[in-house]
Structure 1
Amino acid sequence: MNCRILALVVVCLWGLASTVQAAPLTVAVKTSPPFSYQQAGRWDGISVELWEKVAKKAGFKYRLRPYGSLPEMLAAVEQGRADVAIGAISVTAERERRLDFTQPMFRAGLGIATRNEASGWVSTLRNLFSWKFLSAVLALMLVLLLVGLLVWLLERRKNPQQFGGSAKQGIGSGFWWSAVTMTTVGYGDKSPVTAGGRLLGLVWMFVSIITISGFTAAIASSVTLNELQSQINGAADLPRVKVAAVEGTSGSNWLAGQGTSFVPYPNNQQALRALMIGEVDALVSDAPVMRYMLRERGATNAMVLPKLVREESYAFAMANGSPLREQLNQSMLEILPTQEWRAVLNRYLGAEQ
């Protein structure tokens, strides 16, 4: 009798183990090319291909469950609604406290994307038509018009030959006189004859020296400042420009830790678009992701700086204490050093890795 009970227990346990083993894993994934993205109705990418190879080697059945954001995906794993999360998941100290991670599958890190600014005369022309330059020209025109109005009021009765006619003609003549006097051209075709007009002319000559100097400085400042602000060479330049980051990612966390304000975007696609149309000056995100997206878009007006702002490792994420970790690590350690896997990386990243 005891033997029968023991046999029955063994059979039940075996059946239960088979049932558990047959239950498919829920694998969380989100769009993050080239690591994970949908193409022709199926998921593809570096992380997806690696997971397929790992699952095959470990004998796992699974189903992919897409999520809209990285925080949402990691929360699903942490709360047990998903068994594994794959994609461009960087390992950080904060995430390590909440989750377990596999062996690193890829090493890269955070980079800075910025626009390729035009150089030479094209850049100079663009800067000359900036609002600061145009506002300085407008202010100068108003000063010339004011001086022209004053000289017309002083000269119109006693000097009608040079400043007479209608109000429009007289003020126009005064504007011309104030302009040629300021620039020291002094054609001599118009000159005040009244005491008040000559006193104004004398004062205006001295004031013109200051005005011309200030105007020249304003132009130089406008052009130089615009040129400097268009050049982003590294992390030290970020505090003085408008920066974008994807909310809830390691890029936004890094910027917050640096005390650098940023504009949050829901995903890299929208953030890159904002960069390319000039809404922001820089984007901090995963360097390989940004390089891949710019290459796929054929973008020529943006680039990713070669130097990383922080090196990071990418891995699969699981809940703390997950029994899957050991099996996943064993399979990954067998796959990652192979030439076959190197060929997969080359196919997605080329010489950029």
Structure 2
Amino acid sequence: MIDTLLFFFDSWLLNVLLTLSIFLVLLGTVICLAETRCNPEFPKKPIQGIGKGIWWASATITGVGYGDTVLRSFSGRLLGVIWMFIGVLMISSFTATIASSLTSEKIRSQVNRRTDLDHVRVGAVKGENTISLLKGQGVTARGYENLTLALSRMAKGELDAVVHDRPIIQHLIRNNPDLASSIGLSSLDLRKEEYGIAVGMPNDSRQRNALVDQINASLIQIKSSGLYDKILARYLGN
């Protein structure tokens, strides 16, 4: 419940509402200018007239259409028709995005602790260490031939969670819009893993040390320059 409430204060949603508000004010102003001279329903005072225009634009885009305000000028009606079609597209897209985001948020909120895996349907890739890891922690997982198949099964509702290497899941979700619209990534990490770099080493110890120092210096440079973060964002998203 808290996650759902926080979603409505998300910066993305606030930006959308701000943009929509700007559109409503601009359209309300234009409608006021077009209707004031020939439509007695629009007050002559600018503030009241613009307010009337904003009210009409808001009622129209939401599909409510109270009918208490009718456009009479040709330019006003032309703008009205255009706004009606724009409104259908905007509201449909807005509703779909919110539904998708709430679904992803619900999926993420189902698994926040290791013990949550005991109560959901879990999938993993056959032949990977993940199944052994889960089995060692008392979690039974269904095995799938590959990660894409497992995630697709979860997207269809056959699974509640898929356990695999986080970067690989992030990359697949980022590059598959169908998965991204129905799958969220939990913050739970079952195990931290470290990776090393294997290199051919010269026989001379001084050359070996120089090579290791060169590699370490390059890695430090990549991280300190921000290049490492850019690479992560490029392949895994923010």
TM-score tier, shorter chain, comes to 0.3 to 0.5
Greater fraction of residues in strand: 1
Larger Rg: 1
Q: Flag the structure with higher helix content.
A: 2
Work out which structure has the larger RCO, using CA pairs closer than 8 Å and 6 or more positions apart in sequence: 1
Normalised by the length of structure 1, the TM-score is 0.32
